[in-house]
Amino acid sequence: MKSEHYLKRIGIDEIKIPSLEFLTELQHRHLLSIPFEDLDIPDTRIELDLEKIYKKIIPTKRGGFCYELNGLFHWLLTSLNFKVDMLSARVYNDEKLEFGPEYDHMVLLVHLNKDYIADVGFGDSFRLPVEIPDGEVKDVSGAYKVFQKVENGFELHQKNENGWMPQYSFSTEAKKFDDYRNMCSFQQDSPTSHFRTRMLCTIATETGRITLSNSSLTITEDKTKSKTEINNKDEFNIMLKKYFGIEL
């Protein structure tokens, strides 16, 4: 595992001292370069093994889901001398109007002169580090704000026409990579897991996002969306290669 190869993968050619500016550059470039995707589920086992994840994402130029992407990003930041913790997050379910279980998602807490959350593994979410306890950012994907609910408990919200709506909750208690193992297995094995009901690959662009699912390709540019139906596996694979450079 070499950090210089990782940095080349995301288009970074200069290593700088840890700072909010450098963290912002790393997160932004990562989101533009490495897709969120769950294409291995349920046929290929995803293990919380950093070397296997590195080989999949860096030389093979694939993507991954939250434990893979944020787990590897944690390794990169640490190798660049950032002080960073893994946090457990509970994703908000819009239909049930409730948060999911612990370790449902991984988010990172980066300690600089202030504390910031960073996330490269949620798909369509904030692109700039968000200060805690009450930071707010705005980018091409929308406006995001952290709300403190209890002493060490926070919620990340995104603003829409109905106001601030939760994306996930998290606590600032540091976790270990192995702590996510059971939920990583659940996401792959449980018939109730949404990762088993679809195939998804999505990546940020400077002006929007490209998202490929079993049924459609959606391209968003400056809040204008175009949608193309996907009718079969062959069409899916053609779009996957064209827009993401991935061949399964």
174-224 tens-digit pLDDT:
999 999 999 999 999 998 898 888 899 999 999 999 999 999 999 999 889
CB atoms within 10 A of CB 140: 15
C-alpha distance from residue 130 to each of 148, 155, 196, 218, 234 (Å): 13, 12, 31, 27, 40
CATH match of 3-192 with 3.40.50.620? no
Integer-rounded Cα Rg, in Å, for the chain is 17
pLDDT for position 185: 95
Question: Which pTM was predicted?
Answer: 0.96
Domains of the chain, by residue range, sit at 3-192, 196-244
82-94 tens-digit pLDDT:
999 999 999 999 9
118-145 tens-digit pLDDT:
999 999 999 999 999 999 999 999 999 9
Residues, the chain: 248
